[in-house]
A and B are shown apart, each in its own frame.
Chain A
């Protein structure tokens, strides 16, 4: 069993839809959770990070962490074609840990 599981998709939705991206994990020691966005032929860029359980909102993006279920989510409201990318979750047990454990990424396409 992988430490982090992420549905690879692909996921295709119409512009303006609400998108939900999810990851599950098995290591209960994980406390720091990140979402990265990776455009084609580019490196991943940090989109959001959260610590422990709870929600964090940044514009159209909301990250949720449910440690009791070992489940994290990223919601994108009013999705735009420019949101089309691969989204990767990542997590670590230690703040500033050298090693992040990544999900395999979900390829998302927003159709105009």
Chain B
């Protein structure tokens, strides 16, 4: 299955600033997925990123707050903009596991704390 490198692994940011999270996959993939995992909550899909097109956002998430780039088939970034303490969470990127119709491979996540 694919190997995902995600960075930074953690960060502490001031409110009102922005943080860009990078996700690098060791193989070409059509779709990359960005999830948020809030403390005590389930993983929630933020958006799906396809190379060469605009990301598709889930209900409750907007491009202005979470702009996504997908410049090629192995790389994507998620920016958390104008951060507030409510954005403190773990952010994970994910791709569909190679040859699997069910499973997804996740990066190690970015633990974000907004102060």
Contacts and interface: CB of A to CB of B under 8 A. Distances in A.
Contacts of B4: 43
Given A46-B97, A46-B100, A99-B45, 9 more contacts: A34-B103, A43-B108, A44-B92, A45-B106, A90-B43, A98-B33, A98-B45, A104-B42, A105-B42
Interface in B62-115: 92, 94, 96-97, 100-109, 111
Contacts of B109: 41-43
Given A99-B45, A100-B104, A41 B96 contact: no
Contact of A32 (B58, B97, B102): B102
Nearest to A90: B43
B104 to A, nearest CB: 7
Contact of A46 (B31, B58, B103): B103
Q: How large, as a class, is the contact surface on chain B?
A: 20 to 34
B48 interface: yes
Interface string B1-39: 000101001000000000000000000000101000000
Contacts of B9: 41
A4 B44 CA distance: 12
Contacts of A105: 42
B60 interface: no
A72 interface: no
A49 interface: yes
- Across chains A and B, which 3 residue pairs bring their CB atoms closest together, nearest first? A43-B106, A46-B103, A102-B42
